[in-house]
Amino acid sequence: MSERKRIFSGMQPTGALTLGNYLGALKNWAQLQDEYDSIFCVVDLHALTIRREPARLRADSLSLLAQYIACGIDPEKNILFLQSHVSAHAELSWILNCYTYMGELGRMTQFKEKSARHQDNINAGLFTYPVLMAADILLYQTDLVPVGGDQKQHLELARDIAERFNGIYGDVFKVPEPYIPKVGARIMSLQEPTSKMSKSDENENAYITLLDPPDAVIRKFKRAVTDSEASVRFDQENKPGISNLMTIYSSVTGKTYDEIEREFEGKGYGDFKLAVGEAVVEALKPVQGRYNELMSSRDYLTEIARKGAETAEYLANKTLRKVYKKIGLVPRP
Ligand code: AQP
C-alpha cells in the first residue's frame, strides 16, 4: 500500500443494511475511498455476540460484502475481507483485553442497551465487543474511522487503549480519529424517532433496508410517526419524526434544511412523506440492481474476500508481531 492516510471500518453481517448504516457510514466510505487507502471489513466475529443461525450468518456475510460493493465500494481500489479470515483480530483482541478496564467497558452505552434487550444472553463477548473493535482498527495503523454517531464512544475507548499501550511500550499504534458525518450521523427509527434506526428492531416498519422493494419503502415512509403540527420544519427536540425525515431527505438529495422547508411550505405531511419515500427509492435503485448481479456471481465475491484477506493478513501481522515483541512474548523459533 502507498503512504496515503488509511481508513478502516466495518459492519456486522446481521441482515440487510439499513438506511442508517448507509447514510451514517457506508456513504462516506464510498466518498473517502479515492482519497485514502481503505480497508473495509465484514465483522462476522462481532456478530457472534448475538445468537445466530449458522447458515444465516454464512449467507449474511457474503451478502454484506455484496452490499458494500453495490453501494460503490470498489473492490479493485480497496481491501475488502471477512474479519474471521484474519486471525490477528482475535489475537490482538485478547492482548488488548489485558489493557482495558472493567469500569471502562461497563460505561459503554451499547453494552447497556444490548444487555437490556438480550437479557437471556448477556455474554462476555457483548461486554468486550469494544476491545475487539479496537483491535480491528489498531491492527491497520488506521488514521480515520468513518462511522455513525453511535460508535463515537467505542472509538474514544479505542483511542484510550492505544494511548495507554503506547504510553507503556512506545509508539506501537497510530491513534485513530473518528469521521462522523454532519448530516446523517444518527438516523432514527421511523416508528420511534427518539431511538436509532436499527436492523434488529422487532417492528419492520421502523427501518428501511437497502434491499426493500419500492412499494415497501413508500409504505414505511407513509406510516412514519410524525406530529400534529403539519409544518415541515427542523426541530430535533420537539419534532423528532419530521426532523429525521428531513435528515434522510437531505442526505439522499443533497438539499439543505432551508431548501426543504421552502419546498414543502404550505404542503401537508402526506406530500412530504411521499417525496422522501420516492427520493429513497431512486437512491436505492442502482444499489439493488448491482446487488442482484453480484449475488449471482458467488465466485467473484469469494475471490474478492480471498484476495482481501491475504493483503489484510500481511498488514495485520506486522502490527501483531510488533505487539508480541514489545510485551515480551518469545518470538516463535
Ligand atoms: N441509525 C444509524 N444512523 C447512523 N449510523 C448508524 N449506524 C448504525 N445505525 C445507524 C452505523 O452503521 C455502522 C454499522 O454498524 P454495525 O453493523 O456495527 O451495527 P450497529 O451499529 O449495531 O447497527 P444496527 O443497525 O443497530 O445493527 P443491530 O441492530 O444488528 O445492532 C456503524 O458505523 C454505525 O455507527
Residue range 68-101, pLDDT digits in tens? 999 999 999 999 999 999 999 999 999 999 999 9
Give the global pTM: 0.94
Given the residues 152, 174, 199, 307, the one annotated as active site: 199
| Start and end residues for every CATH 3.40.50.620 domain found in the chain | 6-185+298-327
| Active-site residue flag, 27 | no
Active site residue 174: no
* Residue 187 CB–ligand 1 contact under 6 Å: yes
Give the H/E segment covering residue 177: strand 177-179
Please tell me the residue having the least CA distance from ligand 1 atom 7. 21
Residue 107 Cα, ligand 1 centroid: separation in angstroms?
A: 19
Q: Could you read off the pLDDT of 162-191 as tens digits, one per residue?
A: 999 999 999 999 999 999 988 889 999 999
Ligand 1 contacts CB of residue 150 (under 6 A)? yes
pLDDT at 183: 83
Q: List 81's β-bridge partners, or say none.
A: 41
Say yes or no to pLDDT of 117 above 90. no
The side-by-side arrangement of strands in the sheet containing 79-82 is 79-82, 37-42, 6-11, 144-146, 177-179
Marked catalytic residue, from 27, 114, 220, 239: 114
- Label the pairing between strands 177-179 and 37-42: unpaired
Look up 5 and say whether it is catalytic.
Answer: no
- What fold, for 6-185+298-327? Rossmann fold (3.40.50)
Of the candidates 196, 220, 239, 273, the residue annotated as catalytic is 196
Contacts of 62 (CB under 8 A, 6+ apart): 298, 301, 302, 305
Q: How confident is the model at residue 228 (pLDDT cuts 50, 70, 90)?
A: very high
* Mean pLDDT in residue range 98-107: 97
Task: Find the 242 Cα to ligand 1 centroid distance in Å.
Answer: 21
Predicted confidence band of residue 323 (pLDDT cuts 50, 70, 90): very high
Q: Residue 254: left (phi > 0), alpha (psi -120 to 50), or beta?
A: left
Look at the domain 204-292 and name its fold.
Answer: Tyrosyl-Transfer RNA Synthetase (1.10.240)
Percent of the chain surpassing pLDDT 90? 94
196 has a pLDDT exceeding 70: yes
Which residue's alpha carbon is at the smallest distance from atom 35 of ligand 1?
148
> What is the per-residue pLDDT across 1-23, written as a single tens digit (0 to 9) for each?
567 999 999 999 998 999 999 99
Q: Which whole-number Å values give the CA distances from 66 to 50, 51, 167, in the listed order?
A: 22, 23, 40
For residues 112-134, average pLDDT: 94
Give the pLDDT mean for 18-31.
94
Q: How far is the CA of 252 from the centre of ligand 1 (A)?
A: 18
Q: Please report the pLDDT score of residue 1 as a whole number.
A: 53
Asked whether the beta carbons of 249 and 256 are under 8 A apart, the reply is no
Q: Which residue has the cell 516463535?
A: 332
User: Where along the chain do the CATH 1.10.240.10 domains lie?
Assistant: 204-292
Provide the mean pLDDT of the chain: 96
